[in-house]
Amino acid sequence: MLLELEQLRLSYGDHEVLRGLTLHLTRGQIGCLLGPSGCGKTTVLRAIAGFEPVDSGEVRIDNRVFSQPGRTVPPEQRDIRIVFQDYALFPHLNARDNVAFGLREGRKADRRAQAEEMLSAVGLADAVRAQPHELSGGQQQRVALARALVARPRLILLDEPFSNLDVELRERLGIEVRSLLKAFGATALMVTHDQQEAFAVADEVGVMNEGTLQQWDRPYNLYHRPANRFVADFVGQGVLIPGRVAEPGKVDIELGRLEGRLITDVRPGTDVDVLLRPDDIIHDDDAPMTAEVRYKVFRGAEILYTLRLDSGDRVLALVPSHHDHRIGEQIGIRLDTEHIVAFPRGEARGEYCPTELFS
């Protein structure tokens, strides 16, 4: 294990921000913390970097304890580099000297040579002498990444690294950053509130809420096998519709019988809310079952339909956009679920339907 956070607790005054957070990263792994604003993501990074002392628990890196109550190894002794949202480049230094600053030892000429090499690795060979203000946001963030990578630190922390960039660039840069981190065998932990960004960059993603980790998993599992309602709600779109567990692996809902592996632990006879993602509902003109189009959002390649079932419940369906149906039309649908996510009934139904689609 390269990074181990064990039962971390951390408060600002009376406000407990981290409440027993445990997380492990292996060497070469890229992790990401995803969660709503204020859930404590940045605080986790600050605790790892050594900027905040912990109330209880431990931060271990490479099997050494770096933080525990009453003892915080200073940031400069941790061999960690941070890439910030605002890039934090020195405005008066050119790209090469900004990167060379990441190397604290060695002769100036050697440091500059290494910095130039690193800038070519991040695709900025032509920008070596450019000042930060002459570079685009994406280029500046690549300089910041080069500065973090050049020293081959134990761990790289990335704090919302793409949030100042436009959406299209974010995804592209996310993929680039991932391949660079992998090429250098770097271990990294990023925080973001943007799930597309998390999925593009990380091997494993942790969904946080109110200072605790709700699930640490591969993006596929977060989406298809959410551990609880919070994760189901926070990751991706979908609706919860009522059902009843008929027998193990079989759940009856208005649309028929779902068969598949039950992800959650619910017994036969239990009333449940079943998670249906937009990709679980297939539009099929030949299907005997129909639903009424209530809303549609054009997304280029696809249309996201909000459909009303006979009972009044609504589901979402993601459909190739040449199937362009009118509001009010009845369209054929069938289910395509290979596993079933069902939560025991109890909490309010429909709580996590995206309201803008249902208003």
Ligand X SMILES: Nc1ncnc2c1ncn2[C@@H]1O[C@H](COP(=O)(O)OP(=O)(O)OP(=O)(O)O)[C@@H](O)[C@H]1O
Residues that bind ligand X in the complex, under the rule CB under 6 A:
12, 15, 17, 35, 37-43, 193
Helices of type H across the chain? 41-49, 95-100, 108-121, 137-149, 167-183, 195-201, 219-224, 229-234, 355-358
CB of 192 to ligand X, least distance (A): 8
What span, in angstroms and rounded, lies between the C-alpha atoms of 19 and 122?
38
CB of 21 to ligand X, least distance (A): 11
Q: Which is nearer to ligand X, 38 or 248 (CB)?
A: 38
CB of 54 to ligand X, least distance (A): 14
What span, in angstroms and rounded, lies between the C-alpha atoms of 28 and 152?
12
What span, in angstroms and rounded, lies between the C-alpha atoms of 89 and 24?
30
CB of 210 to ligand X, least distance (A): 9
Q: Which is nearer to ligand X, 55 or 126 (CB)?
A: 55
- How would you classify residue 142: left for phi > 0, otherwise alpha for psi between -120 and 50, otherwise beta? alpha
Q: What is the Cα Rg of the chain in Å?
A: 24
β 261-262/339-340 pair status: parallel
Q: Which is nearer to ligand X, 189 or 293 (CB)?
A: 189
The closest of 333, 342, 340 to 314, measured between CA atoms, is 333
CB of 64 to ligand X, least distance (A): 24
Q: Which is nearer to ligand X, 15 or 104 (CB)?
A: 15
The closest of 341, 207, 339 to 264, measured between CA atoms, is 341
Q: Which is nearer to ligand X, 81 or 193 (CB)?
A: 193
∠ CA 359-166-210, nearest 5°, is 60
CB of 191 to ligand X, least distance (A): 6
Q: Which is nearer to ligand X, 84 or 184 (CB)?
A: 84
